Amino acid sequence: MSTTTKTPTTAAKPEARTPSKAARVLGDRRLPVLVTAALFLAMYIAGLSRYQNYGFGDSQVFLNLFIDNGYLLVAAVGATFVILSGGIDLSVGSVIGFTTMLTAWLVQDVGLPLLVVIPISLGVGAFGGFLMGYVIHNFEIQPFIVTLAGLFLFRGLCLVISKESIAINDSAVSSLAETRVSLGLGELSIGAVVALVVLAAAFYLLHYTRFGRRIYAIGGNEQSALLMGLPLGGTKIAVYTMSGFCSALAGLLFMLYIQSGDPLHAVGMELDAIAAVVIGGTLLTGGSGYVLGTLFGVLVLGLIKSIIQFEGTLSSWWTKIATGVLLCAFILIQRVMTTRKKA
Amino acid sequence: MITNPRWRALTRHNLFWPVAVLVALLLVNIPFTPDFFAIHMTDGHLYGSLVSIVLFGSPLILVAVGMTLVIATGGIDLSVGAVVAITGALTCSYISDQKDQDALSGVLLAMGLGLIAAVVCGLWNGFLVARMGIQPIIATLIIMVAGRGVAQLITDGQIITINSEPYKLIGGGYWLTLPFSIFVVAAVVAVTVALTRRTALGLLVESVGGNAEASRLVGIRSMRIKIMVYVFCALCAGIAGLMVSSNTSAADGNNAGLWIELDAILAVVIGGTSLLGGRFSIGGTVVGALVIQTLTTTIYTIGVPTQTNLVFKAAVVIVVCLLQSPKFRAKVFGARAKKTPPAAPAAVTTEPATPKMEVS
């Protein structure tokens, strides 16, 4: 695993001197993930000591982090792929919102069975991602602008389906939403299980396949990747297709979680996803990071929300401020790391 | 296809496509509203679709002008929407605490406070980008995420409504028969153009955007220039925040200036400024912002259901970006020209791109 991920940087920035021990610790790519994991642990312990009498220690409270943030985890995994390849996808929140609308409309108003609707929704999301990737690669327009167009397009399509939210009272959806998988310590929802499966698949793809290695290479240095003969276009398009697919899947999970479609669902969720990826230690310049870090990023964001819930008196805007402060801290850590590596 | 050299020169001018799109959009309205271009006088104020396009587009033009300079240095500022919200929230909450909301001194003080908050945000962004060397898109993401939280903190999660006559002027008032905000925008644009095109400042900004390290070695204080553009951009966003909150007489921490950063970046791109930095066109940005606002107005006036607004916007973004992409033009328009010299595809690809840079 370590060889896979180290290749791109050594190619990009050859280290002239043997670094000192401190520099080696600071320059370790795993450091941000460890810091995030440690932060998560510290926050969890702080929560335990503060709200022990309110049942914070229940294993179910911990598992609820996955149940309540499964969709965010799936979206953030998709974003991790794009960011590792050196791009960005701003359309995530809109695709999620669109998927909730599309499924709600197809199930509720058109009356298609859920089993037919799921592949349609996933296909539409993946196709949207494919189109964006195609335009980004073939016409050399910046990912930022293309996915911004995607953001407007999918949010607009939500409103074209309906201006009102659509509540779903289909029996298949509600039984799926209420299904719980028992783990002994507590139970997980189908959404949480799917999210964990996606995480495992992404872990395998990124660290054990040629495709994953190409993503790191392209994110590390696109020019050298091209000169090495890597299929730049194919990989890039695949990355955006996967991000579109993950967003659509996240939309399905969100639809299960909320059991409705709404044109304003998940507005701005691309930022939560990007924030989770950054807090998880992935460099936004691409080429460095772990999908496990993204998991911890999502868990930290989820934990902030549940701590604020337990606190009760704190207002919801503190979530945004806390997220911003955390972002800032992790960006500065990343900065210190990258400068140390250059020195 | 294109043979006349004059016509070629014209189509290559960096303002050609944005202006063409703007004119086309304006003309689309004529079959639906025959008196679209008519401007009439009511109660001593000028009314008309053209006036309202500029009036409602004012905040966007302001933010986009600031954004142009940031993008010219190779950066990007995602925090402008949050700055709009913070400025509005701070100003309105200060005014609402006054006993006499119509008192001019109180209103001016409140506006000053709001603008200082905006400048502080700009300094913070500039500090992170220039001093710490953090990628602009991430550095400004911090205030984008946290800023709305701060704005809600200031307004305590409520929508603060105010009732202040002098404050109403900046966003919703009239002066010399025209909306006052048009004068504010005109002044800001004029000052920006004068500073960047009549002094060396614009050149310095472009050189920092072209290559920050090289311009530092030449003796340009690139760090200072970068901080300056972020402060300027935040200040523009602050003024836009005053306008938005004054026009609605309310501060909404959650929704004020929502997505304005994206619209502003769009305006800059439509105006022909490359997101890679190194050159910019203020005129193009103003046209770009007007294109976006005209699109919105057109959708309303021709009776297309308003919910399809965003789909149209997406379509325009895609069309304009594709038209500006040298590779797309080479593939689509160059395909016919390629037939005569089939052996030199490389020349065809690069040809449309190079002269465009010289023009700007």
The pLDDT tens digits of the residues spanning B294-344 come to: 888 888 777 777 667 778 878 877 887 787 777 787 877 765 544 444 444
Predicted pLDDT at B338: 46
Instruction: Give the whole-number percent of chain A exceeding pLDDT 90.
Output: 37
Q: What is the pLDDT of residues B256-274, one digit of tens each?
A: 878 888 889 889 988 888 7
Helix (H/G/I), strand (E/B), else coil: B286:
helix
* Tokens 């993503």, located at residue: A215
> Crossing angle, helix A143-161 and helix A92-104, to 10 degrees?
20
Instruction: Give the whole-number percent of chain B exceeding pLDDT 70.
Output: 90
Residue B161 bridge partners (DSSP): B250
Residue B279 tokens read as 């050159």
**Is A135's Cβ below 8 Å from some Cβ in B?**
yes
Measured CA to CA, the distance from residue B230 to residue A80 in angstroms comes to 28
Cα atoms in the Cβ-side hemisphere of radius 13 Å centred on A141:
28
Of B142, B253, B308, the CB nearest to A331: B142
**What residues of B are in contact with residue A270 (Cβ under 8 Å)?**
none
Measured CA to CA, the distance from residue B185 to residue B62 in angstroms comes to 6
Cβ contact, residue pair B142, A328, below 8 Å:
yes
List CB contacts of A250: < 8 A, sequence separation 6 or more.
Answer: A71, A72, A74, A75, A78, A92, A96, A99
Closest CA to B143 of B75, B89, B85, B66: B85
Q: What is the pLDDT of residues A56-105, one digit of tens each?
A: 888 888 888 999 999 999 999 999 999 999 999 989 999 999 999 999 99
List CB contacts of A300: < 8 A, sequence separation 6 or more.
Answer: A36, A39, A40, A43, A276, A279, A326
Cβ contact, residue pair B153, A146, below 8 Å:
no
* Tokens 């359309």, located at residue: A91
If you measure CA to CA, which chain A residue comes closest to B328?
Answer: A139
Residue B313 tokens read as 């916007």
Predicted pLDDT at A242: 95
User: Which has more confidence, B11 or A16?
Assistant: B11
For residue A311, what are the CA distances in angstroms to A52, A244, A303, A307, A318? Answer: 12, 36, 12, 6, 11
State ipTM.
Answer: 0.76
Helix (H/G/I), strand (E/B), else coil: A167:
strand
Q: What residues of chain A, 220 to 259, have a C-beta less than 8 Å from chain B? A: none
How many helices (H) and strands (E) chain A has is answered by: 15, 4
If you measure CA to CA, which chain A residue comes closest to B276?
Answer: A142
Measured CA to CA, the distance from residue B60 to residue B156 in angstroms comes to 26
Residue B87 tokens read as 């400025």
* Tokens 């930095």, located at residue: B277
Closest CA to A256 of A70, A79, A78, A75: A70
Of B128, B135, B321, the CB nearest to A145: B321
Cβ contact, residue pair A145, B135, below 8 Å:
no
**Is A140's Cβ below 8 Å from some Cβ in B?**
yes
Per-residue pLDDT for A329 more than 60? yes
Predicted pLDDT at B350: 37
Lowest mean pLDDT among A33-42, A119-128, A263-272, B307-316: B307-316
Predicted pLDDT at B360: 35
**What residues of B are in contact with residue A155 (Cβ under 8 Å)?**
310
Measured CA to CA, the distance from residue A219 to residue A339 in angstroms comes to 18
Cβ contact, residue pair B325, A139, below 8 Å:
yes
For residue A301, what are the CA distances in angstroms to A36, A280, A319, A325, B292? Answer: 11, 10, 8, 12, 35
A310 Cα to chain B: minimum distance (Å): 19
Predicted pLDDT at A15: 47
Predicted pLDDT at A25: 64
